[in-house]
Amino acid sequence: MATIKDIANAAGVSLATVSRVINDGPKVGKETRERVKNIMREMGYRPNANARALVTKRSASLGVVIAELLDPFFATLAHGIETTTRQHNVQILMSAGSIARETELKAIETLLEHRCEAMVVHSKALDDDTLIEFAQQVPGFVLINRHIKKISNRCVWLDNEAGGRLMAEHVLHQGHKKLAVISSKYRIDDPVERLTGIRQAIQAAGISLPDENIEFASPDQEGGETAIQNLLTRGVEFSAVLAYNDAMASGAMTMLLDHNIPIPAQVSVVGYDDVILAKYCRPKLTTLHYPIELMASKAAELALLYASGIRPQEGITYKYTPTIVKRESVARI
């Protein structure tokens, strides 16, 4: 592959001149510029990003760490990042962290080796201190879907508690008194925050939520199915179920319908996230809209901004609030 040197030789000019026309440098003769450009085109010249990154110490690329590309939630997240990086002509280095300490760490470290100064990372397995350290080390380090007070201005996150309240309030307003909750069995923050919000709303309504009305399972369709199965088996009575996410809600609906329990006629279901399947399943799922694409765009923008030298504003943070999307899975009783 042709180098800057080859071009210089072919054009009968020096390396410096070629470099200048590549970067639209200031002082180059009109005709020299044209001549060099033509030669570059003829020889199919492409600047070597590695060499460039080496000397400029900037990489024009943004590192991304997410849990799992397969998951529609993360696909949406990735998409949000991709659209904004593309506008900035920035490449994405993508890694999956799998919500495992070792993997997440490895992913970030590899990104570090590539010297990308901008990163948006979704980490649930690493502890605060580790993340704070990375944030100190990398100017454009931004966390998504997590809030660490010490580095608030590097966090783009969702108010999960508010979300929990909202979903509970919605069914309460529809007259439901007996609620069931199917939550995630994984001990990360999100499920406990959402559950906390749910409890607040229920308590405020003067109702109780017995422990036996709460099921913990894997946060996917299968988990939703088994959770409902357990609830049904134990004879728990409920007219509404609040799910940890849309996948669980979908599984729940499947299992309820399999038991000839009509939705929402007999039981209402509320999801969380508003991923694509919420619109696809039947009945269409009433759920909480998680503006993850928007948040991801914001995170990417911040990462790029901070990486470019702008210091993050002190004391600020980027908190988003979910909103309820009413579709067909909730009925008034």
Partner DNA sequence: TTGTACGCGTTATCAG
Partner DNA sequence: CTGATAACGCGTACAA
The Cα-based distances of 299 to 45, 125, 127, 157, 274 in angstroms read 34, 19, 20, 9, 20
Piece of 8-16, 92-100, 120-128, 323-331 that binds DNA (CB under 7 A): 8-16
Closest among 143, 127, 152, 209 to 176, alpha carbons compared: 209
Q: Does 232 contact a second copy by CB under 8 A?
A: no
Give the span between the Cα atoms of 229 and 250, in whole angstroms.
Answer: 13
Which C-beta is closer to a second copy: that of 97 or that of 322? Answer: 97
Give the span between the Cα atoms of 218 and 105, in whole angstroms.
Answer: 24
Which C-beta is closer to DNA: that of 60 or that of 155? Answer: 60
Give the span between the Cα atoms of 319 and 316, in whole angstroms.
Answer: 9
- The least CB distance from residue 208 to a second copy, in Å, is 33
DSSP sequence for 18-33: HHHHHTT-S---HHHH
Instruction: Tell me the per-residue interface mask from 137 to 176 with a second copy, x by CB under 8 A, - otherwise.
Output: ----------------------------------------
Q: Which does 84 bind (CB under 5 to 8 A by kind): DNA, a second copy, none?
A: none
Q: Does 2 contact a second copy by CB under 8 A?
A: no
Neighbours of 318 (CB within 10 A): 19
Burial of 5 (0-12, 13-18, 19+ CB in 10 A): exposed
Number of residues lying near DNA (CB under 7 A): 30
As a whole number of angstroms, the longest Cα–Cα distance in the chain is: 87
Candidate residues 26, 31, 70, 233; the one interacting with a second copy per rule CB under 8 A: 70
Instruction: Tell me the per-residue interface mask from 34 to 73 with DNA, x by CB under 7 A, - otherwise.
Output: -----------xxxx--xx-xxxx----------------
Q: Which does 15 bind (CB under 5 to 8 A by kind): a second copy, DNA, none?
A: DNA
Q: Which does 4 bind (CB under 5 to 8 A by kind): DNA, a second copy, none?
A: DNA
Candidate residues 5, 79, 88, 326; the one interacting with a second copy per rule CB under 8 A: 79
Piece of 16-24, 251-259, 313-321, 325-333 that binds a second copy (CB under 8 A): 251-259
Give the span between the Cα atoms of 17 and 274, in whole angstroms.
Answer: 54
Which C-beta is closer to a second copy: that of 6 or that of 189? Answer: 6
Neighbours of 205 (CB within 10 A): 15
Question: Is there a contact between 249 and 217 (Cβ–Cβ < 8 Å)?
Answer: no
Candidate residues 5, 25, 38, 54; the one interacting with a second copy per rule CB under 8 A: 54
Look up tokens 């999307």; give the residue.
325
Q: Does 9 contact DNA by CB under 7 A?
A: no
Look up tokens 């659209």; give the residue.
83
Q: Does 110 contact a second copy by CB under 8 A?
A: yes
- The least CB distance from residue 9 to DNA, in Å, is 11
Give the span between the Cα atoms of 19 and 28, in whole angstroms.
Answer: 10
Q: Does 86 contact a second copy by CB under 8 A?
A: yes
| Chain contacts with DNA (rule: CB under 7 A) | 1, 3-5, 12-17, 19-20, 22-23, 27-30, 32-33, 45-48, 51-52, 54-57
